[in-house]
Amino acid sequence: MSDVDVLMIGDIAKDVNVVQGNARVEPGGAVYYGSVALHHLGVSVAVVTRLHPDDMPLLEALKRLGIPVYAHSAPQTSGIENVYVSPDMDRRLTRPLGFAGPFSVEEIPDVRARVYALLPLMAGIISLEVLRHVAARGPVALDVQGFVRVPEGDTLRFRPWSEMAEGLAHVTYLKVDRAEAEALVGETDPVAALHALRAYGPDEVVLTQAEGVMVAAGDEVYFAPFTPRSLAGRTGRGDTCFATYIGKRLTLPPAEACRWAAAVTTLKLEKPGPWDGDMRALREVLRRTEVQRVR
C-alpha cells in the first residue's frame, strides 16, 4: 500500500519569465506545475521542497488544493529568469536568480509512493546519494534538466552530468528535451537519442520538443503532437508533460499515457500558470489527439 501515487521532490521556484519583452514574476518549478496537473487528473501527489522562509506563501496554491507539502527552510529560494528567444518558444536564455541548496537524505519524508519523482530546477539540488536512497524505495522518475543545468556566476550553462551512467541506472522514467538529448548522447535524430538514453538503464524515456512528445518504451517509440491555439503558457511545458505521463502510466500503457500527456500539455500551453483542470476541454483535445508509432 502506498501513501500517495507520486511523491515529487524538488525546489519550488520564484521565476521571472520574459516573453516578447514583457517580464512576469511567477511561481514555478516542476514540482509546482507537475503536482497541480496530477491533482486535477485525480492522481494523489505530495511535494517535498526547499525554499526561503519569506517565500513560504508560494506554497499556498498547492495547499489550497489539498496537496501535502513537506517544506524545508533554505538560505535562498531557487529561481530562474527565462528569456524566450525563438518564435516557437523552444529556445530560451536562462540565468539563475536563487539557489535553494541541496536536499539531504534526512529531508526525504517516510512517505510511501508508487513513483518517486526527482525534479530539481538546476544541478546541485539532488545528489547521487539522494537518488540512490529514493531508488531503494521504489521506481524513480527523473528530469535530467536538474542535473545538467549548472549555475555559474550570473549564467546557467549546460554541462555534462559526470555521474550520468550510474545515475540513470537507478531511473525508471527519464525526461529530456531535444537539446538535452542531443547534448547528452550526441544524436541529432531524436529517435536515435531516445534509444541511446534507454541503453543507460531507464525503462522509458520521455522527450519533449516544440512539435509534441516522444516516448521510447521497449523497442517502440511513440509520438503525440501538441496542438495549442497559443503559446502563452510555454513555461512549464515539459514539467506538465512529464508529470502527466508519470501519472497516467500508473493505469495506462505507454502509448495512451503519451496521448494524455500531449493533450494536457496542449491545454497548459495556452495559458500561463499550471493547467487549470478543465476536463471538458481535455476530453475534446483527447478526442482529436492521435498517437503515432514512429519506429
Domains and CATH numbers, the chain: 4-293 (3.40.1190.20)
Per-residue pLDDT at 64: 96
- pLDDT tens digits, 253-269: 999 999 999 999 999 99
Residues 226 and 213: beta-carbon distance below 8 Å: yes
Residue carrying C-alpha cell 501513501: 3
Instruction: State the average pLDDT for the chain.
Output: 94
Residues 6 and 71: beta-carbon distance below 8 Å: no
Task: Give which of 203, 195, 12, 7 is closest to 110, Cα–Cα.
Answer: 7
Task: Give which of 272, 289, 271 is closest to 229, Cα–Cα.
Answer: 271
Task: Answer whether residue 23 shows pLDDT above 80.
Answer: yes
Residues 119 and 239: beta-carbon distance below 8 Å: yes
- pLDDT tens digits, 59-108: 999 999 999 999 999 999 999 888 877 665 656 777 889 999 999 999 99
Give me the half-sphere count of Cα atoms (radius 13 Å) on the Cβ side of residue 31: 34
Encode 225-260: b = buried (16+ Cβ within 10 Å), e = exposed: bbbbeebebbbbbbbbbbbbbbbbbeeeebbbbbbb
3-state SS, 100-125, equals: CCCCCHHHCCCCCEEEEEECCCCCCC
Give dist(CA 130, CA 265) in Å, integer. Answer: 29
Per-residue pLDDT at 6: 98
- pLDDT tens digits, 209-230: 999 999 999 999 999 999 999 9
C-alpha cell at 81: 529568469
Q: Tell me if residue 128 falls in helix, strand or coil.
A: helix
- E strand residue ranges, 39-170: 45-51, 69-73, 79-84, 92-98, 113-118, 140-143, 149-152, 155-158
